[in-house]
Structure 1
């Protein structure tokens, strides 16, 4: 009598969409590399100019792909989400993150921005009816405490400012708002369509920085310009498309969980390429950020295997990203 009950539990893991997990993994790795590339390009480009250059490069690549694939325009129902994400995620987020990374190191920026998954879960529960849990609010409090520890520790060392951490918090909020607006839009548009037109709207929003971009491009080093182009092609054009593909196949809250590995990857990348390693207190604050996210996404067990299958997708994604 026991064997029939055991079969469904054993069959649960194969239902994970492996292509979605692979897409989420590509996104996490490329977004982690973006923190390092922004830090490097930021020496020669201002926050707005870098955002505009990144959006222009991304739009150019995505536009060519859309033309080759004959994607066409998204359906009318997708446009509210595309415009919202274009202004907040592809526009405001990029400028705030670029500016914040001029005031904090790449690892710290990644740790603070990674409270975004908690905000995604909060907004997803409210606006997308994905549901709330008491642990969500507790996790949010823990992560904001961690962000405060990161900011104070870095400003005390003279390597960053509280203002830089606040800018990264703004980036986290606009990132979360963009994801939540993207989820319903993906019912009416492909991931490629959403990313292409969202990126184009972000570029339009950043056009006031066009004069600054032209001036700074003339004086910038080749490596800084290459980093800017890299940001547009890979962490934007490719990673935002793979993110959209994965998001269309799971909930916004669960997709947010796949970014848990990003801070660890950023710390390793910034150590290898920039020689930046956050101090012990900063790392402790980062651990609080991640602990809060973990608490917010945890589930209470409801018996033997009752609640275990649900977290499988983000768990596998996080492990793969590492």
Structure 2
């Protein structure tokens, strides 16, 4: 019986990571017709409608007004700011490069937790952080100077935003379920981005059907369904590490999908810098089994939540 449950958790985790990996590719497809702000609003809005329907089916109400500031901050960092900076970074980076940069989120989350919660980051944790930073420098300095197009900086900003969201989750987790935190954060993020509704409508009217389909896919699958699958994977697993290990597949899946969907292959800087970053990530998870801060136990790639 336990073996069946374990196997189920593996499938749920793999499905989640596959959906999150697809977001890097289909975002680039959608950006051919949509702006970063328009796409951010539409993705939040579609995810909000989907998750609100799930809340209604489960007969779960909305949060109280006193909780609005915390969920507003959660929605801003986890979705409105994150999706905008993520989309901006995706404009100039390959799907694989963006995926590797976002994979630094667990390490950044641990760094934030060490300052905010005084969780001591051990030597292996600092070594992992330095390795990841070295990999980022390879991506930025490959051509001999810091890249002016800003793609790496935008994606790092997205990684910092989602890391802040992961830290806030720790404060909310005691009173709310993973579904509630994700749904309420998406709802507040959608409200913040509502000013871009007219722009989004104009872009939908002008966009070809495949690009509109990509937006709908992003809103339903990587943004809503993936988080539900991830919560299910965590509930079935014996321990969190048994499912978070699947995060190492995200760059590979993004690479395969990027080539299959948009015929995209990353340059040598991504292979070299990405290898260094992933080594840092591997060291970070090895350190986690030796008592690294727990604030990132559920954090991951377009992010392990929580976010999706």
TM interval, short-chain normalised = 0.7 to 0.9
Q: Is the 8 A contact 1:183 1:247 kept in 2?
A: no
Q: CA RMSD in A?
A: 3.4
Measured after TM superposition, the shift of residue 73 of structure 1 is 2.5
Seen in structure 2, the aligned counterparts of structure 1 residues 117 and 36 have a Cα distance that, compared at 3 Å, is same
Quote the residue 1:285 is aligned against. Answer: 273
The 10-residue stretch of structure 1 (247-256 or 234-243) with the greater mean CA deviation from structure 2? 247-256
Superposed CA offset, 1:13-35 (max 9, x none): 98x96665554333211110000
Seen in structure 2, the aligned counterparts of structure 1 residues 247 and 163 have a Cα distance that, compared at 3 Å, is farther
Q: Is the 8 A contact 2:6 2:238 kept in 1?
A: no
Larger Rg: 1
Measured after TM superposition, the shift of residue 70 of structure 1 is 0.4
Quote the residue 1:86 is aligned against. Answer: 75
Gaps of 5+ in 2: 292-296, 302-308
Q: Is the 8 A contact 2:9 2:243 kept in 1?
A: no
TM-score by length of 1: 0.79
Quote the residue 1:65 is aligned against. Answer: 54
Measured after TM superposition, the shift of residue 36 of structure 1 is 0.5
Measured after TM superposition, the shift of residue 114 of structure 1 is 1.1
Measured after TM superposition, the shift of residue 258 of structure 1 is 4.5
Gaps of 5+ in 1: 1-12, 302-306, 309-313
**What pairs up with 1:197-276 in 2 under 5 angstroms?**
197-244=184-231, 258-276=246-264
**What pairs up with 1:150-169 in 2 under 5 angstroms?**
150-153=139-142, 162-169=149-156
Aligned length: 291
**What pairs up with 1:133-152 in 2 under 5 angstroms?**
133-152=122-141
Quote the residue 2:294 is aligned against. Answer: none
Q: Is the 8 A contact 2:128 2:280 kept in 1?
A: yes
Measured after TM superposition, the shift of residue 142 of structure 1 is 1.3
The alignment status of 1:55 with 2:58, answered yes or no, reads no
- Matches of 1:149 and 1:37 in 2, distance apart? 26
Q: 1:298 aligns with which of 283, 286, 299?
A: 286
